[in-house]
Structure 1
């Protein structure tokens, strides 16, 4: 019992996100694909449909199967705690929601396909992690390399690969991570300047 007491919920946003998505995946086994499609898949419907607005965010909790879930959340569980410690839980929630919203809106406006899963958040975290040790006013070389490889690969895949993976979500997630990471660092630099006496 004493050992169980030592287990620490060390990254509340990351862990809650993971357990929520796992819960949706388990409920999918009970209620079937229609459950996930209606509540956790982003696709275009009428603007008068209230679920249209819910699904702009909820799709990041839905996954097609265990492989889809595990490939996303192994990376999220690896990078999430580090990012959450650096930026804080509140900032990470904002970053996840902003990325989900931007990606969901773009998918709704420009594409006829359904969007499901947290892969956009994964790529946001991959780019955000490049900012982990950045100093204000400097651009990390790792960010440039990761960004070039990542965006190049996704653009090539978007043209050449016919699969169900949304390269758009990956690209938007990665760009969101870079922009949000830079904005957060600049905000921190301004706060430091404002607190100087």
Structure 2
């Protein structure tokens, strides 16, 4: 049986966070609904990022957007807040998947618009539902609400990550071209 106190030590407590909690909180969830909704969207957007950029880029993107979302949440939210969940990283992967798929092909634009609208609505519904059902964290205090700061900052970190990586020339084996290289127009 897992010791719940040990798991709760991985949550991001804003009043006095340990350095590792900025990462570990992205792997912890308030309840089953919270976990399953994040896993569903992680599967969708993770798969898109992995198909376009590879598995290493997927993991790196998840970690950087998750840490970035938690860092911004810690800076902005009150000190009595507790952050937990992968939603910031999921929103980051959503932004990355949209940006690497973007092109002026009308089918791609339509795909992004439809997928984007669907995803934003579903992620927000799932986050609100998991908040309503969630139990207590510490001392009987229930979760106060959805961390929209983490959602927005995770997406923003994803945008910044794509922008930064689009500025870095990459070396590929002969014949291989990444999506970002094609987007930069360096290789046709």
Tell me the TM-score range normalised by the shorter chain: 0.5 to 0.7
Residue number in structure 1 paired with 2:37: 71
Task: Could you tell me which runs of 5 or more consecutive residues in structure 1 were left unpaired when the two chains were aligned.
Answer: 1-28, 155-161
Indicate if the aligned counterparts of 2:69 and 2:89 stay in contact, CA closer than 8 A: no
Indicate if the aligned counterparts of 2:23 and 2:66 stay in contact, CA closer than 8 A: yes
Larger relative CO (CA 8 A, sep 6+): 1 or 2? 2
Residue number in structure 1 paired with 2:13: 43
Question: Does 2:21 match 1:55?
Answer: yes
Indicate if the aligned counterparts of 2:12 and 2:84 stay in contact, CA closer than 8 A: yes
Residue number in structure 2 paired with 1:126: 94
Task: Could you tell me which runs of 5 or more consecutive residues in structure 2 were left unpaired when the two chains were aligned.
Answer: 125-142, 169-179
Matches within 5 A, 1:135-174: 135=103, 146=116, 163-174=144-155
C-alpha displacement of 1:72? 0.5
- Structure with greater strand share of residues: 2
> Among residues 63, 69, 78, which one is paired with 1:97 in the alignment?
63
Indicate if the aligned counterparts of 1:44 and 1:52 stay in contact, CA closer than 8 A: no
Residue number in structure 1 paired with 2:171: none
TM-score, normalised to structure 2's length? 0.64
Residue number in structure 1 paired with 2:54: 88
In 1, the alpha carbon distance for the partners of 2:166 and 2:52 equals: 10
C-alpha displacement of 1:168? 0.4
In 2, the alpha carbon distance for the partners of 1:35 and 1:44 equals: 17
C-alpha displacement of 1:69? 0.2
In 2, the alpha carbon distance for the partners of 1:167 and 1:42 equals: 15
Residue number in structure 2 paired with 1:189: 181
Q: What is the SS of the residue equivalent to 1:130?
A: helix
C-alpha displacement of 1:98? 1.6
TM-superposition CA deviations, 1:30-53 (whole Å, max 9, x none): 322x233212x112355xxxx711
C-alpha displacement of 1:172? 0.7
Q: What is the SS of the residue equivalent to 2:48?
A: helix
Q: CA RMSD in A?
A: 3.6
In 2, the alpha carbon distance for the partners of 1:121 and 1:57 equals: 10
